[in-house]
């Protein structure tokens, strides 16, 4: 019993982080219909930025957890947002009217660039950040126990807070309305006076911001990263986005949580060797029965 | 774009430059300027200044250039690239008639003039030509985005290695068998997923490729897992290309030649060249046959095709199976060329590379695929001079090539048709 | 002469050596992952080999001929390993190779070196298959996975008296080979594992597996893999309140292990098998100090790579530059290196495995266990 509960906690935290990164994929896909393969590497850059921010802040003698976490979040989000903007401007905007596959290849090239640029700048070594928040809640259940670190609670809290804020922005603000209009019909939106290029840039920045949030949280929790971490987590997050229905915000979060839970439960109860095989099989099965993902709108075939 | 044709606005160029400089300071400042060292760091101010000044100089040059008349014309051309398939006149005779025989002759001469290293690079290039041709059917012609093509490649490669180990089958028996196996795998994958659209298909195929790799890694009792497994060399009528042969005489002793390890590469190269030429010919004919035309029609408008009574499942499935079998062939050659296979050769990156070949070659163009395959396999080898910057350069070139030629290196052409004279109106 | 003067002369000699390297005669390849996910190890290989070559050149080279190094990048991909091996043999005309790093690269590349008659000494590929194929030109200056597994297994069974052992590996040639070797020795001692699972290299979340270890109530966790996974793994174990002893192999020998684990307190008490400390040899101690004077920590495979280069140089010097004769010579002679005297058996493996147990302490340092 305690083991199952612990696995649920593990899956939920992992899944919420997948969800945050999946948002970047799903929003970009929704608006310009491209798979942004460099998104995982944007997350990787934000891991480095987190460590850099922590090192800089402690250099200036700031040691208390709230200040460090707050300063790190702001710094990482701003710089990662700039990365999102520049990447879109340099590698994707010139291809706006080309085939979607051309953009896809450009994104793969961008992913290689980011990985190798960081490797050259920072070296290939494994990096880490010092543990910031220690301690855990321990719940005794029967003869077993469930242990949840404060950091995990913090991750869940911030991830869902970030999701909530983003949903508010998309649903209630003017920027959000313009994003949705552009997603519906880019030509029509620009006829109605929306600067769609700017909206697309904004979407990339928002996606990068969410990746930065995930980057700070994961880096603080696991403490370890290198220039290659973006790859696996990027593929997982993309899977989550598709699972939930690509283009749908709540879908990204739901897909992330389902993927995280299925990985944790399968690894915990059956075998961690085949957990990725299980995740991908689950994806295929869900897509066979719901070809547009769990919350995606079914594609209407127009004549 | 501004209508102004004369005069260069230095102020706006300077403004662009300053903005670019600030942005590059934000982008490169932290990652380049603060070198992490454990939990500590060192400042690398000079590196940042260097990069920022390069970015600013570049931005300034581009700003000035785009304001000149020539620059405006250039930008206009970039913005209004016409696209689509070029249809040539019915009686048009391609210049390829002369180029192809020359290429074949050059191809046959390569092993006798090139050094062993160059030969191995060319073999790798040809393997990617095969892979590109296979994926070209699926992505370029049928328009099905497949991100897991490497799965079929792995089936071919492991087919040879495992077939040799468990059943004692050699290169020549596995070559057709692997193609059939890969085609069957393509059918098994294709059947359930073909009702999905575009990018859902992409992720499912990506998952399929990963599942194959993970099974190869984890099923150690059968595949030997990450340790890999050795693959046999092809034989010439039973003659082996080894220094010493366990059974029978090796090739060099039979012909009384001194031993040279290059022989086996020459032999692999010649077989591979023949297979590539055969596949090229088949692909060329297929695009003119009803099935090839059905693929392209389905890519352009699925609903119209189905309304006209085309069996879309069968058409898509045939594309999937043919593409997969070509991938399987490539896998057999890869395994025999390397003499060893393990799962790390079949990662998602490999799929991405093959896809890049198809897209860069110009979706659907056969010659383009051949050129792009060589560009993308020879390029990393040529970039070895850049040492640590090799993969970075490769990434930059990928982006630049796409931005420069989004429709690929070679435009797709199709010969037009005209009704024969004398036929009924 | 004071120490500083000695160092200065050595450095200037080394620089002189580097200059003369331009008109080099002996080309030696340093093959490893200089890019890609394993690039950190490629860097270690290069540093060790580079310094060894400089030191050898400063002392007159190989019979007066200077060593010229060629950096060869295989990114730990078999495909690139084959291509780069052909290039080294063919275009660069290398007579010997220090490398490769990954066993999955070394195995396909070794065949090409054998055909071309090139000497190959790997500082890091520990998979037994490499030397089991009977190639005369292949040597390794590291132990084999099975030797390392033996040391760990006997320690777990005899010293720790463990009954419930969980074995994890990273599904890679090295990590899985190590875990399998340790498992089979341990089983032969009559102890069966309670859990045997693989992780995915590159992931950082192992909470699910950690919870599973908790559910089987293991008192020892053995991990075959590298510090990039071992760090988060041991940290997540402690965070979930799991106190089982953590044991691993030489893949975690790096100060990065501590920074990756997040804090020295997490690595406190972690055990590992590794070759005897080079600072216990006087020659090794001096080289280690010189490395540190240059601001390089000779961790992980740096010293192994240095040793490999010394073995290559000794062999070539004895055989007058003929690599195949050098291979014959190496099979039957002792070589003095910075990691002690090395002797090879007919397969090219070290005759004496020098694996011992190390323990990490609460300050994030490791030291040899006296037993």
CB-CB under 8 Å, A95 with B406: yes
Neighbour-count burial of A8, counting CB atoms closer than 10 A to its CB (0-12 exposed, 13-18 middle, 19+ buried): middle
- Helix ranges (DSSP H) in B194-311: 198-218, 220-223, 251-254, 262-286, 290-300, 302-307
Q: Give the pLDDT confidence of C177-216 residue by residue, as tens digits.
A: 888 888 888 898 888 888 898 888 878 888 888 888 888 8
Q: How far is B348 from chain C (nearest CA, A)?
A: 13
Question: In chain B, which residue's Cα lies nearest the Cα of A293?
Answer: B200
CB neighbours of B418 closer than 8 A, spacing ≥ 6?
B90
C-facing residues of B in 198-257 (CB < 8 A) are 217-218, 220, 225-228, 243
- For residue C6, what pLDDT is reported? 45
Point out the residue among C77, C171, C172 whose CB comes nearest to the CB of B218.
Answer: C171
- List of chain B residues whose C-beta atoms are within 8 Å of the C-beta of residue A128: 38-39
Nearest to residue B348, comparing CAs of B133, B138, B151? B151
Same domain, C22 and C127: yes
Q: Give the pLDDT confidence of C262-306 residue by residue, as tens digits.
A: 888 888 889 888 877 777 777 888 888 888 888 887 877 888 899
Out of A139-143, A261-265, B316-320, B349-353, pick the least confident: A139-143
CB-CB under 8 Å, A138 with C211: no
Q: Give the separation between CA B179 and CA C253, rounded to whole angstroms.
A: 45
- For residue C89, what pLDDT is reported? 86
The mean pLDDT of C137-154, rounded to a whole number, is 85
- Helix ranges (DSSP H) in C36-117: 39-58, 78-90, 103-116
The mean pLDDT of A118-139, rounded to a whole number, is 81
CB neighbours of C336 closer than 8 A, spacing ≥ 6?
C283
- Where does the pLDDT of residue B328 fall: very low under 50, low under 70, confident under 90, or very high at 90 and above? very high
Residue B9, pLDDT > 90, answer no
- Helix ranges (DSSP H) in chain A: 2-32, 39-59, 65-87, 100-122, 150-172, 174-184, 186-191, 196-222, 229-244, 249-269, 275-289
End-to-end CA separation in angstroms for chain B: 50
Same domain, C31 and C67: yes
Q: Is residue C115 part of a domain?
A: yes
Question: In chain C, which residue's Cα lies nearest the Cα of A135?
Answer: C239
CB-CB under 8 Å, C207 with A263: no
- List of chain C residues whose C-beta atoms are within 8 Å of the C-beta of residue A125: 40, 43, 256
Looking at per-residue pLDDT, the higher value among B285 and B261 belongs to B285
- Where does the pLDDT of residue B292 fall: very low under 50, low under 70, confident under 90, or very high at 90 and above? confident
Q: Give the separation between CA C63 and CA A188, rounded to whole angstroms.
A: 79
CB neighbours of B2 closer than 8 A, spacing ≥ 6?
none
Q: What does each C-alpha distance from B330 to A62, B178, B308, C280 come to in angstroms?
A: 58, 10, 36, 52
Residue B365, pLDDT > 70, answer yes
Residue C355, pLDDT > 50, answer yes
Same domain, C138 and C153: no
C98, C101, C106, C110 alpha-carbon torsion, rounded to 10°? 0
The mean pLDDT of C6-23, rounded to a whole number, is 44
Q: Is residue C284 part of a domain?
A: no
Instruction: Please state the φ and ψ torsions of residue A250, each to the nearest 5 degrees.
Output: -60, -30
Point out the residue among B41, B204, B395 whose CB comes nearest to the CB of A113.
Answer: B395
The mean pLDDT of C212-233, rounded to a whole number, is 88
Q: Which residues of B376-393 are buried (b: 16+ CB within 10 A; e: fewer)?
A: bbbebbebbeeebebbbb
Residue B179, pLDDT > 50, answer yes
User: Angle B190-B191-B195 (CA atoms, 0-180°, nearest 5)?
Assistant: 90
What does the DSSP assignment read for C141-177? SS--HHHHHHHHHHIIIIIS--S-EEEEE-SSHHHHH
The mean pLDDT of C223-234, rounded to a whole number, is 88
Same domain, C219 and C362: yes
Same domain, C162 and C199: yes
Using the Cβ of B363 and the Cβ atoms of chain A, whether some distance falls under 8 Å is answered with yes
Q: Coil, strand or helix: which one is B41?
A: strand
Q: For a pLDDT cut of 90, what percent of chain C falls above it?
A: 11
CATH number at residue C313: 3.40.50.2300
- Where does the pLDDT of residue A43 fall: very low under 50, low under 70, confident under 90, or very high at 90 and above? very high
Q: Are C141 and C338 in contact (CB under 8 A)?
A: no
Q: Give the separation between CA B164 and CA B231, rounded to whole angstroms.
A: 7
- For residue B243, what pLDDT is reported? 62
CB-CB under 8 Å, B384 with C91: no
Point out the residue among B121, B390, B391 whose CB comes nearest to the CB of C83.
Answer: B121
Q: Is residue C295 part of a domain?
A: no
Q: Are B117 and B378 in contact (CB under 8 A)?
A: no
Q: Are C27 and C70 in contact (CB under 8 A)?
A: yes
- Where does the pLDDT of residue C141 fall: very low under 50, low under 70, confident under 90, or very high at 90 and above? confident
Residue C18, pLDDT > 50, answer no
Domain span holding position C227: 146-275+355-368
- List of chain C residues whose C-beta atoms are within 8 Å of the C-beta of residue B338: 78-79, 82, 108
Using the Cβ of B31 and the Cβ atoms of chain A, whether some distance falls under 8 Å is answered with yes
- For residue B417, what pLDDT is reported? 66
The mean pLDDT of C45-59, rounded to a whole number, is 91
For residue B226, the 8-state DSSP code is G
- For residue B333, what pLDDT is reported? 92
- For residue C21, what pLDDT is reported? 43
Look at strands A224-225 and A127-128 and give their pairing.
Answer: antiparallel
Q: How far is A273 from chain C (nearest CA, A)?
A: 5
Same domain, C214 and C363: yes
Return the number of other C-beta atoms located less than 10 Å from residue A62's C-beta.
Answer: 13
Q: Is residue C350 part of a domain?
A: no
- List of chain C residues whose C-beta atoms are within 8 Å of the C-beta of residue A273: 171, 197-198
- For residue B248, what pLDDT is reported? 63
Using the Cβ of B345 and the Cβ atoms of chain C, whether some distance falls under 8 Å is answered with yes
- Where does the pLDDT of residue C22 fall: very low under 50, low under 70, confident under 90, or very high at 90 and above? very low
Question: In chain B, which residue's Cα lies nearest the Cα of C107?
Answer: B340
Q: How far is A177 from chain B (nearest CA, A)?
A: 25
The mean pLDDT of A228-247, rounded to a whole number, is 86
| Sequence spans of domains, chain B | 10-79, 95-414
Using the Cβ of A292 and the Cβ atoms of chain B, whether some distance falls under 8 Å is answered with yes
Q: Is residue C290 part of a domain?
A: no
Same domain, C113 and C183: no
- For residue A44, what pLDDT is reported? 92
Rg (CA), chain C: 21
- List of chain A residues whose C-beta atoms are within 8 Å of the C-beta of residue C211: 3, 6-7, 10, 264, 268
Residue B387, pLDDT > 70, answer no
Residue B112, pLDDT > 90, answer no
Q: What does each C-alpha distance from B25 to B33, B56, C12 come to in angstroms?
A: 9, 10, 39
Looking at per-residue pLDDT, the higher value among B103 and A255 belongs to A255
Using the Cβ of A301 and the Cβ atoms of chain B, whether some distance falls under 8 Å is answered with yes
* Touching chains, A (3+ CB pairs < 8 A): B, C
For residue A298, the 8-state DSSP code is P
- List of chain A residues whose C-beta atoms are within 8 Å of the C-beta of residue C223: none
Q: Is residue C346 part of a domain?
A: no
CB-CB under 8 Å, B35 with A122: yes
Most confident among B2-6, B389-393, B418-422, C124-128 (mean pLDDT):
C124-128
Same domain, C250 and C360: yes
Q: Are C52 and C119 in contact (CB under 8 A)?
A: no
pTM: 0.83
- For residue C1, what pLDDT is reported? 39
Looking at per-residue pLDDT, the higher value among C277 and B295 belongs to B295
Q: Give the pLDDT confidence of C299-346 residue by residue, as tens digits.
A: 778 888 999 999 999 999 888 888 888 888 888 888 888 888 888 888
Average pLDDT, chain B: 81
Residue B371, pLDDT > 70, answer yes
Average pLDDT, chain C: 83
Question: In chain B, which residue's Cα lies nearest the Cα of A237?
Answer: B203
> What are the structural domains, with CATH classification, of chain A?
2-289 (1.10.3470)
- List of chain A residues whose C-beta atoms are within 8 Å of the C-beta of residue B407: 98-99, 102
Q: For a pLDDT cut of 90, what percent of chain B falls above it?
A: 13
Q: Is residue C268 part of a domain?
A: yes
Name the domain count of chain C: 2
- Where does the pLDDT of residue B422 fall: very low under 50, low under 70, confident under 90, or very high at 90 and above? low
- Where does the pLDDT of residue C176 fall: very low under 50, low under 70, confident under 90, or very high at 90 and above? confident
B371, B376, B381, B384 alpha-carbon torsion, rounded to 10°? 130
Does the bond joining C257 to the residue before it have cis omega, within 30 degrees of 0?
no
CB-CB under 8 Å, A228 with C260: no
Residue B82, pLDDT > 90, answer no
CATH class of B95-414: mainly alpha
Look at strands C334-337 and C340-343 and give their pairing.
Answer: antiparallel
Using the Cβ of A218 and the Cβ atoms of chain C, whether some distance falls under 8 Å is answered with yes
The mean pLDDT of B10-34, rounded to a whole number, is 84
Q: Give the pLDDT confidence of B136-156 residue by residue, as tens digits.
A: 888 888 888 888 899 999 999
For residue B149, the 8-state DSSP code is T
Q: Give the separation between CA A71 and CA A146, rounded to whole angstroms.
A: 32
Q: For a pLDDT cut of 70, what percent of chain C falls above it?
A: 93
Q: For a pLDDT cut of 90, what percent of chain A falls above it?
A: 17
Q: Is residue C280 part of a domain?
A: no
CB-CB under 8 Å, C83 with B390: no
Residue A276, pLDDT > 80, answer yes
Q: Give the separation between CA A96 and CA C220, rounded to whole angstroms.
A: 56
Same domain, C208 and C99: no
Report CA A49 to chain centroid distance, whole Å. Answer: 16
Q: How far is C225 from chain A (nearest CA, A)?
A: 14
- For residue A82, what pLDDT is reported? 92
The mean pLDDT of C355-369, rounded to a whole number, is 84
- For residue A131, what pLDDT is reported? 81
- Where does the pLDDT of residue C11 fall: very low under 50, low under 70, confident under 90, or very high at 90 and above? very low
CB-CB under 8 Å, B228 with C78: yes
């Amino acid at each position: 019993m305690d083991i199952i509960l612990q696995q649920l906690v593990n899956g939920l935290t992992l899944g919420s982080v997948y969800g945050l990164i999946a948002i970047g994929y799903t929003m970009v896909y929704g608006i310009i219909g491209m798979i942004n393969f460099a998104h995982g590497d944007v997350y990787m850059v934000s891991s480095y930025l987190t460590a850099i921010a922590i090192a800089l802040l402690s250099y200036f003698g700031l040691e208390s957890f709230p200040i460090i976490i707050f300063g790190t979040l702001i710094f990482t989000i701003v710089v990662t947002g700039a990365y999102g903007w520049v990447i879109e401007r340099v590698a994707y905007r010139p291809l706006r009217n080309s085939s979607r596959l051309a953009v896809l290849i450009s994104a793969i090239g961008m992913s290689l660039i980011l990985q190798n640029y960081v490797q050259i700048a920072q070296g290939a070594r494994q990096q880490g950040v010092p543990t910031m928040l220690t301690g855990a809640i321990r719940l005794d259940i029967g003869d077993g126990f469930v242990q949840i670190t404060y950091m995990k609670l913090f991750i869940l809290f911030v991830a869902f807070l970030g999701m909530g804020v983003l949903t508010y922005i998309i649903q209630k603000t003017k920027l959000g309305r313009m994003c949705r209009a552009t997603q519906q019909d880019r030509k029509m939106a620009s006829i109605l006076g929306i600067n769609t290029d700017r909206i697309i840039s904004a979407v990339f920045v928002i996606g990068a911001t969410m990746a930065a949030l995930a980057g700070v949280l994961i880096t603080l929790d696991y403490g370890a990263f290198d220039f290659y971490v973006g790859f696996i987590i990027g593929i997982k997050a993309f899977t989550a986005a598709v699972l939930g229905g690509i283009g749908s915000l709540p879908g990204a979060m739901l897909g992330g949580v389902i993927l995280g839970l299925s990985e944790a439960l399968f690894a915990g109860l059956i075998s961690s060797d085949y957990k990725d095989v299980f995740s991908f099989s689950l994806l295929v099965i869900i897509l066979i029965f719901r070809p547009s993902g769990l919350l995606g709108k079914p594609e209407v075939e127009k004549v | 774009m501004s209508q102004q044709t004369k005069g260069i606005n230095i102020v706006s160029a300077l403004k662009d430059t300053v903005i670019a400089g600030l942005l590059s300071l934000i982008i490169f400042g932290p990652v380049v300027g603060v070198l992490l060292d454990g939990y500590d760091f060192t400042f690398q101010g000079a590196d940042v200044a260097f990069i920022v000044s390069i970015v600013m100089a570049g931005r300034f040059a581009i700003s000035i250039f785009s304001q000149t008349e020539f620059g405006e014309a250039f930008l206009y051309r970039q913005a209004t690239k016409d696209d689509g398939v070029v249809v040539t006149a019915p009686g048009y005779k391609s210049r390829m008639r002369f180029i192809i025989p020359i290429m074949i002759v050059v191809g046959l001469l390569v092993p006798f003039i090139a050094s062993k290293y160059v030969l191995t690079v060319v073999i790798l290039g040809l393997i990617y030509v095969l892979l590109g041709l296979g994926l070209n059917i699926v992505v370029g012609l049928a328009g099905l985005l497949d991100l897991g093509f490497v799965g079929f490649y792995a089936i071919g490669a492991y087919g040879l290695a495992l077939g040799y180990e468990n059943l004692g089958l050699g290169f020549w028996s596995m070559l057709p068998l692997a193609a059939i196996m890969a085609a069957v795998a393509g059918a098994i994958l294709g059947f359930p997923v073909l009702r999905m659209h575009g990018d859902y298909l992409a992720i499912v195929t990506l998952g399929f490729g990963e599942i194959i790799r993970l099974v190869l890694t984890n099923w150690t009792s059968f595949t030997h897992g990450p340790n890999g497994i050795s693959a046999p060399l092809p034989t010439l009528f039973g003659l082996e290309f080894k220094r010493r042969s366990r059974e029978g005489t090796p090739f060099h002793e039979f012909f009384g030649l001194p031993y040279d390890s290059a022989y086996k590469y020459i032999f692999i190269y010649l077989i591979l060249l023949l297979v590539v030429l055969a596949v090229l010919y088949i692909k060329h004919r297929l695009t003119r046959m009803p099935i090839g035309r059905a693929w392209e029609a389905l890519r352009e408008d699925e609903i119209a095709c189905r309304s006209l009574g085309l069996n879309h499942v069968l058409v898509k499935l045939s594309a999937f199976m043919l593409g997969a079998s070509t991938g399987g062939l490539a896998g057999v050659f890869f395994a025999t060329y390397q003499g060893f296979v393990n799962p790390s050769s079949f990662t998602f990156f490999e799929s991405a590379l093959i896809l890049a070949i198809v897209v860069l070659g110009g979706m659907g163009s056969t010659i383009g695929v051949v050129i792009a395959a060589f560009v993308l396999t020879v390029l990393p080898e040529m970039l070895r001079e850049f040492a640590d910057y090799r993969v970075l350069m490769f990434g930059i070139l990928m982006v630049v090539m796409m931005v420069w030629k989004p429709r690929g290196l070679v435009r797709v052409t199709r010969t037009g048709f005209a009704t024969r004279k004398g036929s009924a109106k | 002469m004071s120490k500083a003067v000695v160092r200065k002369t050595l450095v200037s000699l080394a620089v002189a050596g580097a200059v003369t390297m331009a008109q080099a005669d002996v080309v030696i390849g340093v093959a490893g992952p200089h890019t890609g996910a394993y690039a950190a190890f490629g860097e270690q290989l290069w540093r060790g080999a580079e310094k060894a070559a400089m030191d050898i050149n400063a002392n007159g080279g190989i019979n007066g001929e200077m060593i010229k190094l060629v950096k060869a990048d295989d990114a730990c991909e078999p495909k690139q390993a084959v291509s780069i091996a052909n290039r080294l043999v063919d275009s660069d005309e290398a007579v010997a190779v220090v490398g490769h790093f990954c066993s999955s690269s070394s195995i396909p590349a070794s065949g090409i070196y054998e055909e071309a008659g090139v000497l190959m000494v790997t500082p890091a590929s520990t998979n037994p298959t490499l030397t089991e194929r009977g190639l005369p030109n292949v040597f390794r200056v590291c132990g084999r996975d099975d030797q390392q597994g033996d040391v760990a297994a006997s320690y777990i069974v005899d010293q720790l008296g463990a009954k419930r052992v969980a074995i994890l590996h990273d599904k890679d040639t090295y990590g899985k080979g190590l875990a399998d070797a340790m498992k089979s020795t341990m089983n032969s001692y009559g102890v069966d594992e309670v859990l045997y699972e693989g992780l995915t290299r590159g992931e950082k979340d192992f909470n699910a597996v950690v919870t599973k270890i908790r559910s089987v109530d293991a008192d020892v966790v053995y991990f075959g893999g590298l510090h990039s996974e071992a760090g988060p793994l041991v940290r997540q174990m402690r965070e979930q309140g799991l106190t089982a002893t953590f044991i691993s192999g030489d893949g975690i020998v790096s100060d990065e292990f501590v920074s990756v684990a997040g804090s020295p307190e997490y690595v406190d008490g972690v055990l590992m098998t590794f070759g005897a400390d080079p600072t216990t040899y006087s020659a090794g101690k001096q080289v280690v100090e010189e490395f540190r004077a240059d601001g390089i920590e000779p961790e992980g495979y740096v010293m192994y790579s240095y040793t490999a280069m010394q073995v290559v140089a000794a062999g070539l010097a004895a055989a007058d530059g003929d690599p195949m004769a050098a291979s014959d010579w190496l099979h039957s002679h002792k070589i003095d290196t910075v990691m002690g005297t090395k002797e090879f058996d007919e397969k090219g493996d070290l005759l004496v495995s020098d694996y011992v147990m190390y323990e990490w302490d609460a300050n994030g340092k490791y030291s040899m266990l006296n037993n």
